[in-house]
Amino acid sequence: MYKRITHNITEEHFAHPIAAELKKKIDKATAQPPKPMLRATITISPEQQLHMTSHELFGKVVWGIRNYIISELNGAPDTNYITTRLLKDIKEFAPVFTLYYSKKIGDDVVMHLTQFANVLVELVTAAKAEKDITRLTASAFGHLDDLANVISVINPAHWPESVVKEFWHVYLTHVIEQVKARIKKDWEADTIASIKASNVLTSGPVTEGYIKGMPDFASIFADGIIKQFPAAFLSK
């Protein structure tokens, strides 16, 4: 009996002319299909794509080395994994250099970066053991000089050897600062050195050396290719 009373009340309610009209509008609105969502289309130019690729490549090196320093000095179980990952990420430079220059150039860049990374691994291990790192530091700078030579030869107008060397020298200096600061448990100095190292290669502007105020190296690298091969970046 309770259900019937409720049903009658409902029918009487919508039997009213205004209520009936309102019900029609509600039913009509409910029956209409939803309006399609507007989709924004973002167009990325070839120049922007190269800049993104460049920052990704150099960013992996910066953070791979940073992660290795933290892992090795803390005796973490992921040290070998991080080292292997860093060396793998370095190999990703080869296709970019091969595309614009040659396979040999790509192989040479990877070789020098790999040698640098391997020496840096030895350097961090030696520093942790409180051994002298003078020889290893010189060796690391030497591999970076070889890298700068290879890079500058293929694009001297936009990647002068002295400038490329300065970028990598300043970067390595800040990397070593991180190592020393973490060994001393000076977290503030470690953080500052990490930020400065990142600024040099990927986050610009540079804050040290005669390249102070210049964009990060990833930007200079991308811009150098764009300026050297402008036809490759014409809008299609």
In this prediction, residue 11 has a pLDDT band, given cuts at 50, 70 and 90, of: very low
Q: Is residue 15 part of a domain?
A: no
Position 22 scores a pLDDT of: 56
61 is a domain residue: yes
The CA distance from 55 to 51, in Å, is: 6
Residue 211: which pLDDT band, with cuts at 50, 70 and 90?
A: confident
Residue 36 within a domain: no
Residue 192 CA: distances (Å) to CA of 181, 182, 232: 10, 11, 39
Residue pLDDT, tens place only, 226-235? 999 999 887 6
Encoded tokens for 223: 């811009």
Segments forming the whole domain that contains residue 158: 49-233
Is the pLDDT at 159 greater than 90? The verdict is yes
pLDDT at 124: 97
Closest CA to 140 of 177, 168, 110, 107: 168
* Domain assignment present for 19: no
Q: How far apart are CA 43 and CA 47, in angstroms?
A: 11
Q: Does a structural domain hold residue 24?
A: no
218: confidence class by pLDDT, cuts 50, 70, 90: very high
The first and second tokens of residue 211, run together, are: 């390249």
Residue 112 lies in a domain: yes
Please, what is the angle between helix 161-183 and helix 134-154, to 10°?
150
Instruction: Please report the pLDDT score of residue 235 as a whole number.
Output: 62
Give the tokens for residue 137: 């530091």
Mean local confidence (pLDDT), 31-53 = 77
Model pLDDT for residues 78-132, shown as the tens digit of each residue: 999 999 999 999 999 999 999 999 999 999 999 999 999 999 999 999 999 999 9
Q: Specify if 18 maps to a domain.
A: no
The total domain count for the chain is 1
Say if 17 falls within a structural domain: no
CA 5 to chain centre: 69
**pLDDT tens digits, 160-192:** 999 999 999 999 999 999 999 999 999 999 999
Q: Are 196 and 215 in contact (CB under 8 A)?
A: no
